Amino acid sequence: MFTKSNKYDFDFVKENMMGPNSMKILEEVSESLKLEKGMRILDLGCGRGLTSIFLAKEYDVTVFATDLW
C-alpha cells in the first residue's frame, strides 16, 4: 500500500508537508481520478508544493501551483 509515496525521503516529506499524511491521502484519491500523462492540474493552496511535486513525478502531469503562504 502507498507504493508511490513511500519511496520519498522521510525527512524531505516531513519538512515540506503542510498537513498530516498529505501524500498518502493524495495517492489514495488520485487512483480514482484516472490521471493520464500530459494532463494539466491546477493546485490552489499548494503550500510548499509537496503534493504538486508528487503528482508531476508520479503521474507525468503538468501542475500549475500557487499559494498565498
Q: How far is CA 50 from the centre of its chain?
A: 6
Q: How many CB atoms lie within 10 A of CB 62?
A: 11
Place of cell 498530516: 20
Place of cell 493524495: 26
Quote the CA–CA distance of 10 and 42 in Å, as a whole number. 26
Which of left, alpha, beta for 60 (phi over 0: left; psi -120 to 50: alpha)? left
Q: Model-level pTM?
A: 0.79
Q: What is the pLDDT of residues 10-55, one digit of tens each?
A: 887 788 777 777 878 888 998 899 999 999 999 999 888 889 999 9
